[in-house]
Amino acid sequence: MKSFFGIILVLGFLFVIYTENTSKFTSFNEYTDAELAADAKAYNEQQKKDEEKAKNQNNSRNNKGINHPTSEVMDRLPGPKIGSIAPAFSLESVEGKEVKLTDLVGKTVILNFWATWCPPCKEEMPELQSFYEKNKDEVEILAINLDPDADIKSFLKDFGVTFPVLLDDKEIVSQLYEVMSMPTTIVIDKNGKIAAKHIGALDEEGFYSLLQ
C-alpha cells in the first residue's frame, strides 16, 4: 500500500513539473511573437520614414530643374560614355563661320541639339539664353540645329538668341553623339571629355545642376 501511495506521489510530482515547464515554454513563445511583431512594426515605420525622406530629397532636386543623376544613370542614355573623349567636329554657324570643337579645349562646352519644330526646344530656348548671358565667360554654348532648311534666323531673332548656332545639315554630328530625340544636352569639360548628358527640356537652374 505504501508503495502504491509512493508511486502516486511521484507521478503527481512529475505532473506538476511538466505543467510548470509547459507554462514557461508557452509564455516564452508568446513573448517571442510579441517581440517579432514589435520589431516588424518598428521596421515598417522606419522604412516609411526613409521613403518619405528620399521623396522630399527628390522633390527638392526636381525644383532645381534636374534630379542630379549619377554618371552611371546618365550612361544609360544614348551617346558617348561619361568620361570619354568628346568626338571632334567642325560645323558652320548661321553666320557662315566655321566652328571647331577642338578650338574650345580649356573651356566647358554645352552642346544643345534642337530644331525649330520641337515644342520642348522652344520652351527651353529662353532658359538657355538666360543661362548663357550669366555664364558666357566661363561656359561656351554650341546650339546645333537639325533642321537647316527652316527659317532659323527669324526663329533666333524672335527668341533673342545670342549664343553660337551651328548647322548640322547632314546630321553628321548628331550621329556622332547618337542623338535620338530633342532637345538633347551634352556637357563637355575643360579637358574635352563628356561630363554629363540629358534628354529633354531644362530650365535655367537645370543647366546649373547639369554642370555640378
- On the question of a cis peptide bond just before residue 183, with omega within 30 degrees of 0, the verdict is yes
* Residue 60, pLDDT score: 43
Question: Which residues are CB-neighbours of 91 under 8 A, at least 6 positions away?
Answer: 98, 99, 144, 166, 167, 168, 173
* Residue 79, pLDDT score: 76
When divided into structural domains, the chain yields a total of 2
| CA–CA distance, 109 with 112 (Å, rounded to integer) | 10
Residues 75, 48, single domain; the answer is no
Question: Which residues are CB-neighbours of 127 under 8 A, at least 6 positions away?
Answer: 201, 202, 203, 204, 206, 207
Residues 45, 120, single domain; the answer is no
Q: What is the pTM of this model?
A: 0.67
Residues 153, 197, single domain; the answer is yes
Q: What are the pLDDT digits (tens) for 33-89?
A: 455 455 445 544 654 555 554 455 444 444 444 455 566 667 677 778 999 999 999
Residues 18, 79, single domain; the answer is no
Using alpha carbons only, give the angle 17, 20, 26 rounded to the nearest 5 degrees. Answer: 140
Burial 117-149 (b: 16+ CB within 10 A, else e): ebeebbebbebbbebbeebeeebbbbbbbbbbe
Share of the chain above pLDDT 70, in %: 65
| Residue 25 pLDDT exceeds 50 | no
Residues 165, 204, single domain; the answer is yes
Residues 132, 173, single domain; the answer is yes
Domain that holds residue 18: 1-63
Residues 159, 101, single domain; the answer is yes
* Alpha helix segments (H runs only) across the chain: 2-62, 71-74, 119-135, 152-159, 172-176, 204-211
| Residue 116 pLDDT exceeds 50 | yes
